[in-house]
Structure 1
């Protein structure tokens, strides 16, 4: 298993996200080829993937690290951490998160944030194991129709 940055769109990437996205959210729509390609080439998005080097570089998980500058410095968010249900329990999520933290540091980020629903107990344990601490804050969302 190794962690790579996805820098080019391919059929393998499209196929992997077609399998992974429904496992993250039953209401999410599988992104189009163009949407995935745009994300991969976005200056703010760093797409990391866990690939099985013994199985034709099959993508078993991914996350997106979003790095951006604000007036108080460079910040980062980890979004959409997904590990294929068939590969869970193998430490892939932890490898992805730790790689994202290293990359955020290399990019100059001072903090890395993420959110996780309380019902995602295994994910929350993972984030705590990786050193994340719950914050006393309110999360607000404005839905644009």
Structure 2
């Protein structure tokens, strides 16, 4: 098992296809962006993958941004292949993101997960994440 940062130079059609297939396990209804759109310098994203042999079996992303109240990171798109769950891959991906966030000097790391995702919630709380007393609002098609 290898945990590594995915870089623009790593992009191939095979990598794109593997990540797309994996992401469909997380949310089959979302329209996916091409990795070439995500891994650009102005996007400020750290994209971590887990590989077993040559197969990508997990992903996690950390977007960073600065606002008046601090330098933050937002975790997104954490997914582990259904056949590989329960093996500590999600924890290893998150540990790598936290390590990178610390190196970057973030003040806070945020994440959102659905209330129905009990294993993910268990992972995040075991790593010290706490539920914020706030609401998340969304606006699409504007």
Same fold (TM over 0.5): yes
Q: CA RMSD in A?
A: 1.3
Residue 94 (structure 1) aligns with: 91
Runs of 5+ consecutive residues of structure 2 not aligned to the other structure: none
CA distance in structure 2 between the partners assigned to 1:141 and 1:51 by the alignment: 33
Please, what TM-score do these two structures have when normalized by structure 1?
0.89
TM-fit CA distance, 1:90:
0.6
Out of 108, 131, 136, which is 1:134 matched to? 131
Please, what TM-score do these two structures have when normalized by structure 2?
0.91
Residue 48 (structure 1) aligns with: 48
Q: Which runs of 4+ in 1 moved over 6 A?
A: none
CA distance in structure 1 between the partners assigned to 2:40 and 2:15 by the alignment: 13
Question: Greater CA deviation, 69-78 or 92-101?
Answer: 69-78
Runs of 5+ consecutive residues of structure 1 not aligned to the other structure: none
CA distance in structure 1 between the partners assigned to 2:117 and 2:49 by the alignment: 20
TM-fit CA distance, 1:48:
0.5
Q: Is 2:78 aligned against 1:76?
A: no
